[in-house]
Amino acid sequence: MATFFRSANLASRVFDRQFLSPRPGATVNTVRQFYENLVPSYTICDIDCPDYSFRKFTDDGKYLVAFSRNHQDLIVYRPIWPTFSCNEPCDSHDLPPKAKKFDSFFKQLYSISLASSNEYICKDFFLYMECHQFGLFATSTAQSNDSSATEGAIHGVPSIEKITFYLVRLDDGAILDEKAFRNDFINLAHSIGAYLYEDLLCIVSLRYQTIHVLQIRDSGNLVEVRKIGAFCQEDDELFLHSHGQVPTDPYGKIAGSIFSLHHSWYWSCITCLIKLVLIALEPWACIVQIIVTRKKHALRRV
């Protein structure tokens, strides 16, 4: 029973090491668990860091993502973790010069170029797929407020000439696939315009009021599986044409009043609402099935 409820307390782990023997082949892993009780207790200031814009750590802590100052190169580091320790408070010790260098704690894996001369990496956009260690990045050209009228586009929404999403394998920096949107507007700030759920990626186009659903395959390919806009299904337009119900201007005043969600947080609310509805429908489907089954049994008895 003790193997199921072991404490992470250091004294408890020392007690277990004295009286319990680990499984065959698990001795090294058992000893490494003691590193969980070692926490940083000293801050080193005035570190010589590279002149990069550091974005964030990945959720599993294996990679540190950074961008160049011109926002065109992607730089990925791997933490080396603590390499210096003291038996006494570090204030009374003079750390070696190597302990005050950035390279002593992080190892640069690679540096790759994502953006061209007229494109820039969106430093606020980054999505991480932990199961495959894929990173999703975005580049875009400059925003234009004087965009020309385009069929299906909402009037008043700015336009970006090109927005490109890159799927990068963070282990070696290989660019697996890319998806480009032209003359569109997607809110990339803080990853608002894109949502990642398992292997499904949803990208919201504000200019065309369309949700693009892409699937990230294990091979690293971005495959578009659904496009939700004026029509939800692929055969909706054909069905409306055959019944004479297709609107002359699906993105006109009526459709615009329904789909004109110019604020990005509206889309986040809709995404959460759809997920809640799908979750709520599962138990109701089971209840309906049970009721129908009971009615069938009751009719048979009668």
* Structure token digits, residue 219: 């091979």
3-state secondary structure of 108: strand
- Distance between CA atoms of residues 195 and 123, nearest Å: 17
> What is the structure's pLDDT at 83?
67
Whether residue 17 lies inside any domain: the answer is yes
Distance CA 216, CA 87 (A): 48
What is the predicted pLDDT for the residue at 171? 92
What are the backbone angles phi and psi of residue 21, rounded to the nearest 5°?
Answer: -105, 135
Report yes or no on 130 lying in a domain. no
* Contact (Cβ atoms closer than 8 angstroms) between residue 230 and residue 250: yes
pLDDT of residue 132: 85
Conformation bin of residue 198: beta by default, left when phi > 0, alpha when psi is -120 to 50: left
User: In this structure, what token pair is assigned to residue 93?
Assistant: 């010790």
Instruction: State if pTM tops 0.85.
Output: no
Q: Are strands 200-205 and 143-144 parallel, antiparallel or unpaired?
A: unpaired
DSSP element (H, E) containing 237 = helix 236-242
Domain count, the chain: 1
| C-alpha to C-alpha distance for 147 and 170, rounded to whole angstroms | 36
The candidate with the shortest Cα–Cα distance to 126, out of 54, 206, 36, is 54
Helices (H) then strands (E): counts for the chain = 5, 14
Q: Is residue 10 part of a domain?
A: yes
Q: Which residues pair with 90 in a beta bridge?
A: none
Residue 81 lies in a domain: no
> How far is Cα 55 from Cα 229, in angstroms, rounded to an integer?
33
Dihedral, 62, 63, 64, 68 alpha carbons, nearest 10 = 170
pLDDT at residue number 262? 43
Place of tokens 């299906």: 152
| Rounded Cα distance, 18 and 62, in Å | 32
For residue 19, being part of any structural domain is answered with yes
pLDDT for 127-175, tens place per residue? 999 888 899 999 999 888 776 767 778 888 889 999 999 999 999 999 9
CA angle 256, 262, 264 (to 5 degrees): 135
Residue type at 183? N
**What SS3 state is found at 112?**
strand
Q: Which helix (H) or strand (E) holds 288?
A: helix 264-301
Q: Return the pLDDT at 242.
A: 77
Structural domain boundaries, residue 14: 1-38
CA 64 to chain centre: 15
Q: Would you say residue 28 lies in a domain?
A: yes
Q: What are the helix (H) ranges across the chain? A: 10-19, 27-32, 236-242, 253-259, 264-301
CA distances from 65 to 56, 59, 80, 188, 196 (A): 6, 11, 14, 17, 18
Residue 228 within any structural domain of the chain: no
Task: Report the greatest alpha carbon distance in the chain.
Answer: 91
Torsion angle, alpha carbons of 237, 239, 243, 247, to 10: -20
Per the domain annotation, does 5 fall within a domain? yes
Ranges in the chain, pLDDT < 70: 1-7, 82-94, 147, 149, 234, 236, 244-302
- The reported pLDDT for the residue numbered 284 is 56
Rounded Cα gap, residues 134 and 114, in angstroms: 15
Instruction: Find all residues with CB under 8 Å of 25, minimum gap 6, and list them.
Output: none
Dump pLDDT digits (tens) for 174-206. Answer: 999 999 999 999 999 888 999 999 899 999 999
Which is it for strands 194-197 and 200-205: parallel, antiparallel or unpaired? antiparallel
